[in-house]
Structure 1
Amino acid sequence: MYKNIIVPIALDHGHDPSEALDVAKALRADGGKITLLSVIEPIPGYIATYIPEGQLEKNRHEVIGNLEADAAGDDSVDARVITGHPGSAIVDYAKDNDVDLIVIASHKPGLQDFFLGSTAARVVRYSKCAVHVLR
């Protein structure tokens, strides 16, 4: 069983996180915690100048609200939003927060994934902790 689990969620892909959250709850040790994690990619400077003031913070609050709704009132499930490239940001967050399991959903790989690699593939490749991939 695992004491510190993260479940990365890409809200822009329309995935239903319930399966990943159920797996995380089944693998969680007594007294363990689960963190729903969403990564927001940084906005390039040439685009940021056209975004209304306060919009990025509004987006962050909306993402947190969606994650908290996914947690459905479970006090042992936290919601976090970080900024960065999803694959490396998830791995870095896991390393910096003593995470011992990442439960991540993956899609069927397409041709582009063989050249660039999916987020799940990058997490599996570079993570120092256990990774449970859902298909």
Structure 2
Amino acid sequence: MLYKRILVPFDTSELSIKALEKAIELAMLNQSEVFILHVVSEIPLPIHYSKIESKNNEVIITPLVNKLHNEMKNEMAEILKDVKNKYAKHNISITTEIIIGDPADTIVNFTKQNNIDLIVMGSIGRKGLSGLFKKLGSVARKVAEEVSCALLIVR
């Protein structure tokens, strides 16, 4: 089967790096586009720190959260720039994206909005083990349940 648009959810974990390498390998075989998506999780704040208001139909959140999100996005932007440069020699199209939101929902929505043919992702990301047993992570499980495209889980 030919995959033209491959998504790799990337969180710098060992498994997301393995997933990216597999996606690059597949992309070279099929001349596919690769989309590397990093999702910055929303930061829950105690009520006395959170300030959400609407101004001119835009949601304004506390400056502390904005600062933290911006720092995380800037740090990840540098990492993704290095990752993209590492694979540039393969002459495949690589697009990087950083989005703030719920990881599983963001991956599902990105897949639908960008007509992704294949998702290549790690079985467990940065959150690690669930309890004492290694099992499919909650993000990978939710994505598997909600997308209609092919999904390759890397372990």
Q: What range describes the TM-score normalised by the shorter chain of this pair? A: 0.7 to 0.9
Post-superposition Cα deviations, 1:34-82, rounded to whole Å, max 9, x if no partner, equal: 0111101122354554727644223212111112212215262221101
Alignment equivalent of 2:72, drawn from 59, 66, 84 = 59
Q: Corresponding residue for 2:121?
A: 104
Counterparts of 2:6 and 2:113 in 1: how far apart (Å)? 13
Moved more, 68-77 or 82-91: 68-77
Counterparts of 1:55 and 1:109 in 2: how far apart (Å)? 26
| Rg comparison, structure with higher value | 2
Q: Is the 8 A contact 1:105 1:133 kept in 2?
A: yes
Q: CA deviation at 1:123?
A: 0.8
Q: Corresponding residue for 2:10?
A: 9
Counterparts of 1:118 and 1:112 in 2: how far apart (Å)? 15
Residue identity in the other structure for 1:33: E
TM-score, normalised to structure 2, is 0.70
Q: Which runs of 5+ in 1 are unaligned?
A: none
Distance 1:123 1:56, change over 3 A: same
Q: CA deviation at 1:9?
A: 1.1
Q: Corresponding residue for 1:39?
A: 39
Counterparts of 2:37 and 2:16 in 1: how far apart (Å)? 11
Q: Corresponding residue for 2:104?
A: 87
Q: Is the 8 A contact 2:104 2:143 kept in 1?
A: yes
Q: Corresponding residue for 2:144?
A: 124
TM-score, normalised to structure 1, is 0.79
Provide runs of 4+ in structure 1 moved above 6 Å.
none
Counterparts of 1:88 and 1:5 in 2: how far apart (Å)? 17
Post-superposition Cα deviations, 1:73-104, rounded to whole Å, max 9, x if no partner, equal: 52622211011111111011000111111000
> Which of the pair is proportionally richer in strand?
1
Post-superposition Cα deviations, 1:101-135, rounded to whole Å, max 9, x if no partner, equal: 1000013863499xxx6111111111121110001
Q: Corresponding residue for 2:19?
A: 20
Q: Is the 8 A contact 1:8 1:104 kept in 2?
A: yes
